[in-house]
């Protein structure tokens, strides 16, 4: 029998702080938590001294920095393009999230575990749809068997005009096991 448990990102970040190798790099507190160990851009907010500052996990941190710099964002509890973000975190245009996913998938192998962890937190633990896009209306035709609110297959209603809408990632997993 399979059970589904809700694990919060803060719980996972706490586990990572316990399991991370001891080093001089310590996560610094931000408004809502701390950055991922070895980074200054990955987490709620950032602890960077300036835009060119990166932590020891340089490639992963560069991915997070590029994502943080996305200029098409719906802040928490805000409305843009006629859609409302009811969550505690900002929501990004799907173009930015796809670029973030691609960047994490292409980090060097020695940073792969950090990229996989950060990607899993970002792409797989969210309940609300993850990004927004201007596209033809879509209708869900197949829901996930394990996560009832996640759609795994959409069909386009292309006869209608494009509109701004939420999009579920539905399978943007970060998996380095095949590398």
Give, in order, the Cα–Cα distances in Å from 41 to each of 6, 56, 68, 145: 25, 11, 8, 34
Active-site annotation holds for 101: no
C-alpha 20: how far from chain center: 20
Q: What region, left, alpha or beta, does residue 81 occupy, with left being phi > 0 and alpha being psi -120 to 50 degrees?
A: left
Active-site residue among 61, 68, 97, 168? 97
Active-site residue among 67, 68, 101, 168? 67
Please report the DSSP string for the chain in residue order: --------HHHHHHHHHHHSPP-S--PPB-SSSBPPTT-SSSSSS---SSTT---SSHHHHHHHHHHHT-S-EE-TTEEETTEEE-SSS-EEEHHHHHHHHHHHHTS-GGGHHHHHHHHHHHHHS-SS--EEEEES-EEEEEE-SS-TT-EEEEEE-TTSPPEEEEE--SS-----TT-
Active-site annotation holds for 97: yes
| Residues with catalytic roles | 67, 97
């Amino acid at each position: 029998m399979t059970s589904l448990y809700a694990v919060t990102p803060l719980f996972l970040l706490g586990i990572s702080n316990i399991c991370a190798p001891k080093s001089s790099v310590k996560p610094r507190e931000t408004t809502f938590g701390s950055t991922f160990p070895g980074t200054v851009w990955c987490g709620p907010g950032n602890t960077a001294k300036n835009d060119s500052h990166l932590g020891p996990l340089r490639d992963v941190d560069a991915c997070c920095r590029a994502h943080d710099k996305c200029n098409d964002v719906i802040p928490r509890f805000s409305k843009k393009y006629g859609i409302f973000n009811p969550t505690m975190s900002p929501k990004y245009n799907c173009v930015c999230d796809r670029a973030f996913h691609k960047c994490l998938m292409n980090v060097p192998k020695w940073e792969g575990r950090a990229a996989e962890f950060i990607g899993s937190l970002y792409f797989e633990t969210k309940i609300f749809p993850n990004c927004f896009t201007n596209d033809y209306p879509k209708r869900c035709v197949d829901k996930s068997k394990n996560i009832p609110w996640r759609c795994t297959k959409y069909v386009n209603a292309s006869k209608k005009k494009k509109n701004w809408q939420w999009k579920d990632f539905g399978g943007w997993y970060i998996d380095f096991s095949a590398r």
